[in-house]
Structure 1
Amino acid sequence: MLAMSNTQTAAGTTPEARIEALAALCKASADPLRLQILRVLRKDSFGVSELCTLFDIRQPALSHHLKVLASAGLVATRREGNSIFYRRSELGQQAGLDAVQQQIFEVLDDTALTPELSQRLLLVQQQREDNSRHFFQHNAHKFRQQQDLIASYEQYAATVAQVLDDAPLPQTGTALEVGPGDGAFLAELSPRFRHVVALDNAATMLARARATAAAAGLTNIEFIHGDTAHPALAKLQVDCVVINMVLHHTPRPWQILRDVAACLAPGGVLLLTDLCRHDQAWARENCGDLWLGFDPEELAGWAHDAGLMDIASIYLAQRNGFQIQVRLFGHRGLHP
């Protein structure tokens, strides 16, 4: 084996390159506004216009700061149609400097947002949620047609039901479905569990789910109008949570995973179906999508933060180019 040159570091970069990277990291983190940007990107990604609103700054000035952060490897971008969203980079973007980057993030995460910034952040998130809710309130009658544009229920329902049958469930007392849509999957949950809770924040969609359940003679279903922060969930201990094709419509998908994980009984599972990341921007306007799918690692990371582990994953390719991921998560340490 050849000996390592003394002009290289153990990380495989030259000392000069490492010093330059460290200088860029220090420069990027030496500005209060850039640190505030990194703070709000802790668990979210934002478009440029949203960041301009949050910090009351014009786009050219903001773009300069984002460029500095990106050059230092502190933020990463993703394009969704004509929009670019920014998020904090994962650790290890700069060779040998991940410890420094981690310390910066840890200090920021322990620092509270200013009251003004907290209020602006709440307004941006509320606007996202309102846009999604209004879409479904006004398009409930076209739910199936819009769903079929990307992935019809029939294309994934049988696989989801099979994963549910194969799940290591010690109990089958209560199931919770978040965002039941028109109620089709309730027919799968009703015979498998003694009690089923259907939760939706759009009243018109919940009414459609109720009508579907009534037509099918499903009598063990409780309907709740609200989101995963509803007080009723704090009293629930459920054996299974099902979230089918919902997260890409929600402003804070990671928070939903945290909320439902909190009401999972020991040994319970989360069955999650959603789109893999894609670049079909028309889905925003035509289907009410807030996110153009998710990387599998992204969902796994949010689940891990919520105290869950990956049990099983199935990926279904669609003829129209989309791909669906069916994921099963459970409490860490309680599943083999």
Structure 2
Amino acid sequence: MSSVEKAISMPGEALASDLAALCKASADPLRLQVLRVLREDSFGVSELCSIFDIRQPALSHHLKVLAGAGLVATRREGNAIFYRRAQLGQRPELEALQAALFESVDQIELPEQTQLALSELHVQREANSRNFFRDNAHKFRQQQDLIASYEQYAGTVAEVLRNAPLTHRGTALEVGPGDGSFLLELAPQFDRVVALDIEAMMLEQARQKTQAAGADNIEFIHGDTASDALEGLQADCAVINMVLHHTPAPGQILKDVAARLAPGGAVLVTDLCAHDQGWARENCGDLWLGFDPAQLTEWASDAGLTDLASAYLAQRNGFQVQVRLFGHPG
């Protein structure tokens, strides 16, 4: 008997109620479009209102229905509530039906106006983050130290990298190298290192630091993970340290990076676990208040990556850092 048949055959009012809620939630075109938009990102209510050009009371009703059916999950960031698609397995008896629904939803082609609004929101998010680092490049370390200083996690990241089961150590890519500190860890271990950053001032800081240290095998590229300058790159390892919570679409970043990996390569990600310290948005340029580890695993899986190793570091200020190693099938 299939899992779908088992779910339908299970007796009890609770299952009937859950099935009815799922069917009701999926019986509205707008709610299905909301699920499609939430495929790889999370949004606040006001952001979703702008995407769908709908008033907040009406949208809040639809979100309540989706949440009641277990199709969306919420997280609080400061005073705002953000919504994302629920992870599979929260209701095992309905998992197969939910998976089938999400698979069908992902085939929906959003209206042109919705796609345009979504693109504009991503552009605005990225501009906010880029402007922050442009205006605060001169005090990068002070801002970073407010949450988790490089020294607090660098040793663990370096150890995970040294123990990574890489097939080769020819080329490494670091996305968002900051002031270049970890580039000095990569340079001795790889024949070639590529440093990629969207902010020119930050990239120049990294260049000056690594050149002063005598590292001469590092190439600096001004651009993002979709840059044509990465065409043909086959990296044995990609490093993304404390970057994803500054990006509007972390799932897409992982997909872009995975596409630049050589067979048997790995992606090393360091980032914050989910937290509720909303001041980090204004003071540190954060777009996300960390990530649930399961969310990173899901994005990595969507990018064709598998979970290889994990480490978690508690910080004195209430933050927690996760160090994750994801592998590319060889």
Partner of 1:231: 228
Matched residue of 2:146: which SS?
helix
Which of residues 40, 46, 51 in structure 2 aligns to 1:49?
Answer: 46
Matched residue of 1:122: which SS?
helix
Distance 2:171 2:192 in 1: 5
Q: Structure 2: which amino acid aligns with 1:101?
A: Q
Partner of 2:161: 164
Distance 1:309 1:74 in 2: 24
Q: CA separation of 1:155/1:93 partners in 2, compared to 1, >3 Å: closer, same or farther?
A: closer
1:114 counterpart = 2:111: yes
TM-score by length of 2: 0.94
Kindly indicate whether the alpha-carbon contact (under 8 Å) linking 1:251 and 1:290 is maintained by their aligned counterparts in 2: yes
Give a deviation string over 1:109-158, Cα, whole Å, max 9, x none. 11211111111111111111111111101010110000000111111112
Structure exhibiting the larger radius of gyration computed from Cα positions: 1
Distance 2:256 2:312 in 1: 25
Partner of 2:242: 245
Which of residues 19, 23, 28 in structure 2 aligns to 1:26?
Answer: 23
How far did residue 17 of structure 1 move? 2.2
Name the % identity: 70
Partner of 1:123: 120
Q: CA separation of 1:10/1:300 partners in 2, compared to 1, >3 Å: closer, same or farther?
A: closer
Partner of 1:188: 185
Distance 1:25 1:42 in 2: 17
Distance 2:96 2:322 in 1: 33
Q: CA separation of 1:147/1:20 partners in 2, compared to 1, >3 Å: closer, same or farther?
A: same
Kindly indicate whether the alpha-carbon contact (under 8 Å) linking 1:242 and 1:270 is maintained by their aligned counterparts in 2: yes
How far did residue 92 of structure 1 move? 4.0
1:274 counterpart = 2:271: yes
Matched residue of 1:43: which SS?
coil
Q: Show structure 2 runs of 5+ residues with no match.
A: 1-5
Kindly indicate whether the alpha-carbon contact (under 8 Å) linking 1:75 and 1:87 is maintained by their aligned counterparts in 2: yes
Matched residue of 1:150: which SS?
coil
How far did residue 12 of structure 1 move? 11
Distance 2:180 2:103 in 1: 43
How far did residue 266 of structure 1 move? 1.5
1:38 counterpart = 2:35: yes
When structure 1 is superposed on structure 2, of 39-48 and 22-31 the one drifting more is 22-31
Kindly indicate whether the alpha-carbon contact (under 8 Å) linking 2:258 and 2:303 is maintained by their aligned counterparts in 1: yes
Which of residues 97, 105, 127 in structure 1 aligns to 2:94?
Answer: 97
How far did residue 296 of structure 1 move? 1.3
Aligned length: 325
Q: CA separation of 1:300/1:10 partners in 2, compared to 1, >3 Å: closer, same or farther?
A: closer
TM-score by length of 1: 0.92
How far did residue 91 of structure 1 move? 2.7
Which of residues 197, 200, 215 in structure 2 aligns to 1:200?
Answer: 197
How far did residue 15 of structure 1 move? 2.5
Q: Show structure 1 runs of 5+ residues with no match.
A: 1-8
Which of residues 268, 276, 298 in structure 2 aligns to 1:301?
Answer: 298
- Across the aligned residues of Structure 1 and Structure 2, the Cα RMSD in angstroms comes to 1.7
